[in-house]
Amino acid sequence: MRTSRWDALMMALAAAQGVLLLTMPMAPAIALGVWWNSNTISHNFIHRPFFRRRSVNALFAAYESVLLGIPQTLWRDRHLAHHTGVHRRTRVSTELAVQAALVLSLWLAIASRAPTFFLSVYVPGYVAGLMLCAVHGYYEHARGRTSHYGKWYNRLCFNDGYHAEHHARPNVHWTQLPAYQEPSAHVSAWPAPLRWMEGFSLQALERLVLRSRVLQWFVLRAHARALRPLVAALPHVARIVIVGGGLFPRTALILRELLPTARITIVDADRANLDRARMLLGAASSAIDFIHAHYEVMPGAATSGRPYKEGDATVCDLLVVPLSFDGDRTAIYARPPAPAVVVHDWIWRKRGASRLVSIALLKRINLVRA
């Protein structure tokens, strides 16, 4: 290997992708393969060829061209032009001609021997993969060069999330990018292919759930399954404070069943949400306190900026923080403001005792203790 032994892993994964496509030739596998490989293996190979020998690099580029259906010389010229900000014409070369011929030969072979498969599986999968790449590239730059520091995404995609850092130092090997984190970079909680989710309002999704009894049943069941083992591990809980959760009070509904003797307080900055919660909780609302206030994280307890004092309604044994919490979630994990804190978070943020809520909801819950 020319630079790092870690690049051997990419070579092995490219080989594994070829085996996977031969054994499971399905449109989703083709689409995800085109997207993932183009933004990881192929992308890193363009910037820093893996091998010392030029002939071996040429062979690997030819293999990648056939595997992805994209001549790698063409992809390299376009991508390096993107980094320089200068429009470059594609250079016709022997290497490009060989790669294009290999791709066309593969397509002709598949189309002639299995035309139905080619038109109904390969072509849709290939086009979908190119569309995923386009979405990925767009959202990496939509608000300026944007990075994502999620641990699992960067493990699975070889630090692809360090995008601002990569643009600042395109010749730095992918293993070293975390050491050059840009303090002024735009940062997103979403990886590039899912960054369109930033345009969705969590409250809008909650309102969608309220319109469907089937969705309400699914959401309640998924959250109850995740909460049950975490709550069972807690010592006696007399007071519970739920931040937000007024729009669809799923946590209050579940905890009323799991901890029937505990006193529950819901703190929500939207009075209309509290009124709706009273209606949805029905008779159970008589045993619940509703506080119209904005919850602020401070050591011990806080709400609406009021100082902590004994008897404050926000002093509790268990605090529940929603996914839509607009405060400092990192501070909650670092210094839990209650003896036990349940934090609703995205699926890739695992902290403390953690349980998956649902892959479909991209959500998990984490229990941290003071």
- Pairing verdict, β 318-321 and 340-346: parallel
Q: Which two tokens stand for residue 280?
A: 């949805």
Angle, alpha carbons 255-256-261 (nearest 5°): 105
pLDDT digits (tens, 9 = 90+) for 141-155: 988 899 999 889 999
| Residue 92 one-letter amino acid | V
Question: Going from the N-terminus, what domains does the chain have, and what CATH number goes with each?
Answer: 6-198 (no CATH), 203-369 (3.40.50.150)
Whole-model pTM over 0.95: no
Phi, psi (5° rounding) for residue 204? -65, -40
Q: What are phi and psi of 303, to 5 degrees?
A: -160, 135
Query: According to the model, what pLDDT value does residue 301 have?
Result: 40
Q: Which residues of the chain have pLDDT under 70?
A: 88, 199-205, 245-246, 296-314, 326
Exposure string over 225-238, b if 16+ CB within 10 A, otherwise e: ebbeebbeebeebe
Give me the pLDDT at residue 296, please: 66
Question: To which residue do tokens 């990648």 refer?
Answer: 64
Residue with tokens 């509790």: 316
pLDDT digits (tens, 9 = 90+) for 250-288: 888 889 889 988 888 888 888 888 888 888 888 777 778
- Residue 310: what are its φ and ψ, rounded to 5°? -60, 140
Q: Is 271 exposed, middle or buried (0-12, 13-18, 19+ CB in 10 A)?
A: exposed
CA distance 293 to 186: 31
Q: Which residues have CB under 8 Å from 354's CB, separation 6+?
A: 364, 365, 366, 367
In this prediction, residue 109 carries a pLDDT of 96
- Alpha-helical runs (H) found in the chain: 6-23, 27-39, 41-47, 54-68, 72-84, 94-113, 115-117, 123-141, 151-156, 163-168, 202-210, 213-232, 250-258, 271-281, 329-334
